[in-house]
Amino acid sequence: MKSILSSLMIISFGYLFAQEFKGREVSIGDLRGTLTEPVSKTKTAVLLIAGSGPTDRDGNNALGFNNNSLKMVAQELSTSGYAVLRYDKRGIAGSKNAVTNQANLRFEHFIEDAKNWLIFLIEEGYENLVVAGHSQGSLVGMMAAQENANVVGFISIAGLAEDSGEAIVRQLGAQSPVLAEDARINIDSLKAGYTVKKYNPYLISLFGPSIQPFLKSYIAYTPSEEIKKLEVPILIINGTTDIQIGIDQAENLKNAYPNAELVIIEGMNHVLKDAPEDPAANVATYNNPDLPLSDGLMSGMIKFIQKL
């Protein structure tokens, strides 16, 4: 596969182990990403996959949240001696031109994109690949990792165990039992193969006509079943103050793959920062790029990769 690399080079400095790393923009067709590489040679590269919604390669999104969580993860991994490729999902930020019609987007496109980035890393000379997915990226990553012999490890960060349809109903239930009931009817219809003709207008962002095809393809996958198909070491990470994906999801993934290593980080929320349980104060951290990553996150990931 022919990959086009841009000439932009950015020299950065990491401090975890005082190693320098360099970053460069990379691309596959209309997809754009950043590859950070330590100055010292390595054969190990991490593919870092962002979560759901309009979340970009850095962990920020168009809804106004700017926390740089994934950018910080990538840079700290590179200061520890590993190459990291993070990318904008198709339709988002630098990869916006990869989607011209939302109604044609399927979850399988995300899986294929991740597979292609893994091939890109192999073409770059990296032999040992670690797939790390955050939130929705956890499922994307575990699907992509199933068919690549160069993948030596998988890391799920705040990933679901249940299918996304169940998560939608559960999350809505905490806000409005009425909306949750309406969503349950729609989700069950989509799972049965039907198109939803009538839906609560307050749920148009979930069940609008142009979104339903993607949602139908997404809810067809259950992470706790897909993780069983992996044959590599697995690390499962979640935080105790994640108000979007609770630690029960991490525990259920662990139950599905008993040999996985489970790390629960006290006080870490969904954007990988220290946060209280209070929803308003918790969400406030989503838009604070100055906050450091929670203690234990990077040490847990680095120790896991070192053992591979």
Looking up residue 292, the CATH number of its domain turns out to be 3.40.50.1820
Same domain, 187 and 96: no
* End position of a domain, from candidates 220, 239, 256: 220
Separation CA 119–CA 124 (nearest Å): 9
Range of the structural domain that residue 189 is part of: 164-220
Cβ neighbors of 36 (< 8 A, separation 6 or more) are 12, 21, 22, 23, 74, 75, 77, 78, 83, 84, 85
* End position of a domain, from candidates 172, 202, 220: 220
pTM: 0.92
Token representation of residue 16: 């975890």
Count how many domains the chain has.
2
pLDDT in tens, the chain (308 residues): 333 333 333 333 333 444 788 999 999 999 999 999 999 999 999 999 999 989 999 999 988 799 999 999 999 999 999 999 999 999 999 999 999 999 999 999 999 999 999 999 999 999 999 999 999 999 999 999 998 999 999 999 999 999 999 999 999 998 899 999 999 999 999 999 999 999 999 999 999 999 999 999 999 999 999 999 999 999 999 999 999 999 999 999 999 999 999 999 999 999 999 999 999 999 999 999 999 999 999 999 999 999 99
Same domain, 60 and 154: yes
* End position of a domain, from candidates 203, 220, 237: 220
202-241 b/e (C-beta count within 10 Å ≥ 16 → b): ebeebbeeeebbbbbbbbebbbbebbeebeebbbbbbbeb
